[in-house]
Amino acid sequence: MDRDERTAIAARLMSEFATRTGLPPSTQDQQRYLWTDAFAVCNFLELFNRTGDQKYQHCARDLIDRVHQVLGRYRCDDARSGWISGLTGETGQHHPTAGGLRIGKPLKERDVGEPLDERLEWDRDGQYFHYLTKWIHAVCLAASVIGDPNYSQWAVELGEAAFRGFVRRLQSGEIVGVYWKMSTDLSRPLVAATGLHDALDGFITFREAQYAIANTPTIAGAPDLGPAIEALSALCRHRDWTSDDPLGLGGLLFDACRLYRLMGGRRDDARLGEELMDACWRGTMTFLGSRSLMRPASHRLAFRELGLAIGLRALPIIGDAITKKRGGFDAAPELPKSVESLLKYEWVGDEILDFWLSQAQHPHGRWQEHQNINDVMLATTLIPGGFLSVDFRIPADAS
């Protein structure tokens, strides 16, 4: 499949997604979901980058505005109303991410004192840290493409809110982790567990936000994420990042890709990069050994596997960064070997893409159950350049 064909299929998927979820101005029914919308923004920006068609930039702008208006406010079935930050009027409009952003789940969050139902919790609203970082990434890309300083501002304000709301401290004040899920107003944890990769994701994403605000005209008074970055960096030391979950593996590769492209003078970056690539190698081998890709579609989840396919698209970018010795890779001489080993498994991404592309052509069953997220992540797999970029001004080798 050549570049033009990939672009055309992705454009069709994104057009159908926009119509289905209420993005065109003529429709009122908003189906906003933060994770899916973050990927969608990156896809629209990549389509604009590939085609030069202004409508895709308009779609990205419109989607960002709608996410802020819907997920930056309390639900219609919540007793509370207005911006979840507590800001009012024009101030709230100018700082839509200052209180975080809701997930967009179909059910409202459980009430204070209501017992946890683990099955039901998956469908309840609130805030996820790893969804907030995906949105920060999306608006950082918008800042680089569109040049509106508000996007950089909103990215760092969301980072500040996420760190303030999700960080887990002991009574002594020591930071020991990041909560998995918080209430809409960030006042209480809904799931007190700690995400395996959340600290890593925050560490890299907050650096991306700092980079974005340093490279666009800024508004006075932007928050400084430096202390949050240092705190999360400490949580990333000497960790085993290994996961055999395909979506988790894809996220690791995505984080590694951004780390290499942002890598500068931090002493521990090369060591962290080596740890990530080693974890990706071990996780990929375990996943392939499970023979999950041999199962029928009814026993698989498309968006989880597509997450891995997207991550595998990052390998040439990582290899290119190492070849150029950008960021002092001499401190980790094993990095080229680990990337070279993983590059032999790029075909896995192609196999996943081909399988789910055929399923999407005749959607039914499991595909339709998660059609929005499946379609959008399939489009990202087809045109990964935007999602895998930290700034369109830095070239990325992703077709």
The band of 171, judged by pLDDT with boundaries at 50, 70 and 90, is confident
pLDDT tens for each residue of 249-295: 999 999 999 998 888 767 788 889 889 999 999 999 999 999 999 99
Round the CA-based radius of gyration of the chain to a whole number and report it.
Answer: 20
Q: Which residues make beta-bridge pairs with 175? A: 169
* H or E element that contains 119: helix 118-121
pLDDT tens for each residue of 99-153: 999 999 999 999 999 999 999 999 999 999 999 999 999 999 999 999 999 999 9
* H or E element that contains 248: helix 246-262
**pLDDT, position 328:** 55
Give the mean pLDDT of 80-87. Answer: 96
CA distance 2 to 274: 33
Q: Which of 275, 334, 314, 311 is nearest to 397 (CA)?
A: 314
Mean model confidence pLDDT for the chain: 91
Buried b (16+ CB within 10 A) or exposed e, 3-32: eeebbebbbebbbebbeebbbeeeeeeeeb
CA distances from 156 to 122, 293, 353, 390 (A): 28, 39, 34, 15
Say whether 375 sits in a helix, a strand or coil. helix
Say whether 300 sits in a helix, a strand or coil. coil
Whether the predicted pLDDT of 395 surpasses 80: no
- Are the C-beta atoms of residues 6 and 50 closer than 8 Å to each other? no
Whether the predicted pLDDT of 42 surpasses 80: yes
**pLDDT, position 25:** 67
Structure tokens at 267: 């002493």
Percent of the chain past pLDDT 70, that is, above it, reads: 93
pLDDT tens for each residue of 322-358: 777 554 555 566 666 788 889 999 999 999 999 999 9
**pLDDT, position 26:** 57
- Name the amino acid, one letter, at 265: G
